[in-house]
Amino acid sequence: MTQVRTRFAPSPTGRLHVGNLRVAVFNHLFTRRHGGRFILRVEDTDVERNVEGSLEGIMEDLRWAGLDWDEGPGVEEGGRGPYRQSERGRLYREAAHRLEAEGRAYRCFCPDEGAERERDGAAEIGCPGGCRFLPATERTGRLEAGEPSVLRFATPDEVVSFRDEVRGVIAMSAKDLGDFIILRADGRPTYNFAVVVDDVGMEITHVIRGAGHLSNTPKQVLLFDALGVDRPIFAHLPTVLGPDRKKLSKRRGAPGVADFRAQGVPADAVVNYLSLLGWSPGDDREILTRDELVEAMDLGRIGASNTIFDPEKLRWVSSQHLAAMPLDEVARVVEPYLDRTRFPLRDEQIAPALDAIRTRLEALGEVNEHLAILFPTDEVLQGARDELRHDPGAPSVLLAVREALAAVDPWEADALAAAVRAAGKEVGARGKALFHPVRLALTGDRQGPDLGKVMAGLGRKRVLMLLDESAGWVNSQP
């Protein structure tokens, strides 16, 4: 099999949103599955829409997502560049003039409204002014006189068909396409022509993109054929809809990759979730590692039906990835989000504290919200101590637990939990009678994360201090 070569071709008009990134995810996973080459190509010929700094932002987003490219900006190896369309003008002109010389394209002198009608979807046989059938002498004369012209593809009178890996064989009459423009009057290529010339030059074997490009594919198929090259394999991903069941787009507020980063959603979780939008690994798994996704990626498992982007489902996937991540890794990646002023944790305390709350985390950015459970305000603790005054069994429980915990070494969750249970047995307390006073003393609440992990996260000094203070307050009140 020829080496798989795919491409992701964003326009530098802003940062990546979830729909763009999903296309890159499918291309990257499929390419890695087959040991191929993933190319980043920049479609920047629409200069009016280009945004300064956008390309750098796109590359930053891709790197964050772990979607490294084998060829593209900054990786010019392979001899198939340049990888910015704005630098490939000569290649487009050469291909266009070749088609013109072979009679597969012709000069059209129709005014701009002809091009406007084409953009509006009005297909024509020939062009509005019949330029396809002009005598060669007249065409030459008008060109030599400097009359502006575009170059149109001479669409053949035939049925154009192609196979899509998702939707099967698609066929239509080429007449319905009309003679479409491939070079504008200023020499710039149109989208469909530039894409094909790029795919040919970069030897793209698989074109994996959104279903919105299906309408472009017949034109591109004709151009591949006219250039005398094999067509790539096409796979058009199902359309992603937002929660409102409308097409997800930047203009409709589609979340950006930068939003995920700011929230602290792990990149692996984002890639995992986006891969599930229109695809299945062939079993009931929903949580997959990067390696598992690569191993399972198969174009035959992509569905044709529209799919829904569900922010809540993404957060659930994120929580599962955080729960499975090694604790020391969570401690490392949470650092930028941690409010050290509010929670003056020593470095060695961070991992135990996270262990107590990690099952509640859906994103790293929530860490301070959940750490607050372990570090209640003085007002909350005082309210809990006042509540303990009305529990006649609280003083003996707090003193027994304090004594048992003081002897625990090393200070680890399982040993701490066992010590609490042993202290309860000693004073005849269990269940709520045992655990509620301890939780109220430590966190100001009757409920919360695993008590052993809470104590491990708080540390020996703080736990013993809080128990002493609570027991002392309760015993001092009349």
Residue type at 308 in one-letter notation: I
Place of tokens 């999903």: 22
- Cβ contacts of residue 128 below 8 Å, gap of 6+? 110, 113, 114, 117
| Contact predicate 325/266, CB 8 Å | yes
> How many Cβ atoms from other residues are within 10 Å of residue 110's Cβ?
21
Tokens 């729960």 found at:
323
- Find where tokens 């591109």 sit: 220
Distance CA 356, CA 450 (A): 6
The answer to whether 408 and 433 are in contact (CB under 8 A) is no
For residue 314, give the nearest of 269, 377, 255 by alpha carbon: 269
| Number of C-beta neighbours around residue 91 at 10 A | 17
End-to-end Cα, the chain, rounded Å:
86
Beginning with the edge strand found earlier in the chain, give each strand of the sheet holding 233-237 in spatial order: 168-173, 159-164, 233-237, 206-210
Please give the Cα distance from 165 to 73 (Å, whole number).
29
Q: Which residues pair with 138 in a beta bridge?
A: none
**Which tokens in the block code for residue 358?**
């990690």
- Selecting among 175, 246, 247, 250, the annotated active-site residue is 250
**Cα–Cα distance, 197 to 199 (Å, whole number):** 6
Burial 162-191 (b: 16+ CB within 10 A, else e): bebbbeeebeeebeebbbbbbbbeeebbbb
Residue 152's nearest CA partner among 215, 87, 226, 45 is: 226
Q: Minimal CA–CA distance to 450: which of 416, 474, 402? A: 416
Identity of the amino acid at 92: Y
- How many CB atoms neighbour CB 1 within 10 A? 6
Q: Tell me the three state secondary structure of residue 264.
A: coil
Q: Is 250 a catalytic residue?
A: yes
User: What is the spatial distance between Cα 422 and Cα 415, in angstroms, rounded to a whole number?
Assistant: 10
Assign residue 236 a region (left: φ > 0; alpha: ψ between -120 and 50; beta: otherwise): beta
Residue 81: both structure tokens together = 């560049």
For the annotated catalytic residues, the residue numbers are 250
